[in-house]
Amino acid sequence: MTATTTSTTTPAPLRVAVLVGSTREGRFAPVVTRWVKGHLDQRDDMEVDVVDLAETPLPTVLPAFGQPPAPGTMEALAVVTPRLAAADAFVFITPEYNHSYPASLKNAIDWHNEQWHAKPIGFVSYGAISGGLRAVEHLRVVMAELNATTIRNTVSLHNAWGLFDEAQEMTAPESDAAVKTMLDQLAWWALALREARSARPYAA
């Protein structure tokens, strides 16, 4: 009888890029980002890189087909693109603007393509009564075009500013539980897809 062998090797930590979508002056995004990063920092299976689009602005003029970006554009992309390429998974932090997501986030998405391929994306959204859910549903369609897979569970903060206390700590245990569940789902997909990409390059 052949003994069943199981690997005891612990996988390398999953590299999770947290993409902060709002670049608005006076934005609420840092409060939400700090909370999400706190959850990520508690995990042994993930290491986090916060890519804040307000700190790493990208031009909005795309180059002509087949042409390289302008020189200044290359420098701006060099701060963002390698970090997206290195990621095993993403968390998009997005508010809702006019029933969708901010133009700054779409711009960052459109500057890239293969950096998204065969990778999972979890969403944390916030806004007024909708909690950003319409922004997330739009993002799911867009990211499918870019060969990414999106995590089923959305973390959605309705009237988000009322959920944090004066110290900017989350006061709703159900929101903490929602982040944990989403990150658990993200981890499963991130590991599965990292192994798959390693075994077979993804053919878009």
Ligand X SMILES: Cc1cc2nc3c(=O)[nH]c(=O)nc-3n(C[C@H](O)[C@H](O)[C@H](O)COP(=O)(O)O)c2cc1C
What single letter denotes the amino acid at residue 201?
Answer: P
Nearer to ligand X, 90 or 97 (CB): 97
Binder to ligand X among 35, 90, 92, 97 (CB under 6 A)? 97
Rounded to whole angstroms, the Cα distance separating 78 from 51 reads 12
Nearest to 108 by CA among 141, 83, 134, 71: 83
Minimal distance, residue 130 CB to ligand X, in Å: 4
Nearer to ligand X, 21 or 122 (CB): 21
- Options 53-61, 75-83, 124-132, 139-147: segment touching ligand X (CB under 6 A): 124-132
22 near ligand X, judged by CB under 6 A: yes
Binder to ligand X among 27, 34, 117, 140 (CB under 6 A)? 27
Contact of 122 with 93, CB cutoff 8 Å: no
53 near ligand X, judged by CB under 6 A: no
DSSP state of 94: E
Backbone phi, psi, residue 102, to 5°? -70, 150
Binding-site size for ligand X (CB under 6 A) equals 14
- Options 67-75, 97-105, 147-155, 196-204: segment touching ligand X (CB under 6 A): 97-105
C-alpha to C-alpha distances, 136 to 14, 15, 74, 131, 191, nearest whole angstrom: 23, 22, 29, 10, 23
- The site for ligand X (CB under 6 A) is made up of 22, 24, 27-29, 95-99, 127-130
